[in-house]
Amino acid sequence: MKTLIITLTSAALFATAGLLQAEVSYQLVPGWLKAPQGMDHIGNSHGDAAVDSTGNVYISVEGDKGGIQVYDKDGNYLHNVAGAPKTLHGFIINKEGGEDFIYASVLGKAKMVKMKLDGTVVLTIDGKKSIPDKFKGGKDGKTLKLTSVTVGPTGDIYIADGYGRDFIHRFDKSGKYLNSFGGREAPYNFKTAHKVFVDPRFEPNRLLVCDRANRRLVHLDLDGKFLGVIAEGIRLPCSADFHGDLVAVAELAGRAVVLDKEGKVVAELGKNETKGEISTNKVKPESWKKGVCTAPHGLTFDADGNIIVTEWNVHGRVLRFDKK
233-277 pLDDT tens trace: 999 999 999 999 999 999 999 999 999 999 999 999 999 999 999
Over range 72-93, report the average pLDDT: 96
pLDDT value of position 65: 83
Which amino acid type is present at position 18?
G
Over range 44-59, report the average pLDDT: 97
Angstrom distance (rounded) from CA 69 to CA 81:
6
What percent of the chain stands above pLDDT 90? 91
Under the banding of pLDDT at 50, 70 and 90, the label for residue 9 is: very low
pLDDT value of position 15: 32
Under the banding of pLDDT at 50, 70 and 90, the label for residue 22 is: low
- Residue 305 burial class via C-beta count within 10 angstroms: exposed 0-12, middle 13-18, buried 19 and up: middle
Angstrom distance (rounded) from CA 135 to CA 181:
9
Judge whether 87 and 145 are in contact, CB under 8 Å: no
Q: Is the pLDDT of residue 40 over 90?
A: yes
In whole numbers, what is the pLDDT of the chain averaged over residues? 93
pLDDT value of position 23: 67
Over range 174-191, report the average pLDDT: 98
Over range 202-213, report the average pLDDT: 98
What percent of the chain stands above pLDDT 70? 93
pLDDT tens per residue across span 213-239 = 999 999 999 999 999 999 999 999 999
pLDDT tens per residue across span 98-155 = 999 999 999 989 999 999 999 999 999 999 999 999 999 999 989 999 999 999 999 9
Phi/psi for 228 (5° steps) reads 150, 175
Q: Is the pLDDT of residue 14 over 80?
A: no
Q: Is the pLDDT of residue 3 over 70?
A: no
Under the banding of pLDDT at 50, 70 and 90, the label for residue 63 is: confident
Note the pTM of the prediction, 2 decimals. Answer: 0.93
CB-facing half-sphere around the CA of 102: CA atoms within 13 A: 33
pLDDT value of position 316: 97
Under the banding of pLDDT at 50, 70 and 90, the label for residue 1 is: very low
Give the angle subtended at the CA of 240 by the CAs of 234 and 243, to the nearest 5°. 115
Q: Is the pLDDT of residue 2 over 50?
A: no
| Residue 153 burial (CB count, 10 A) | 11
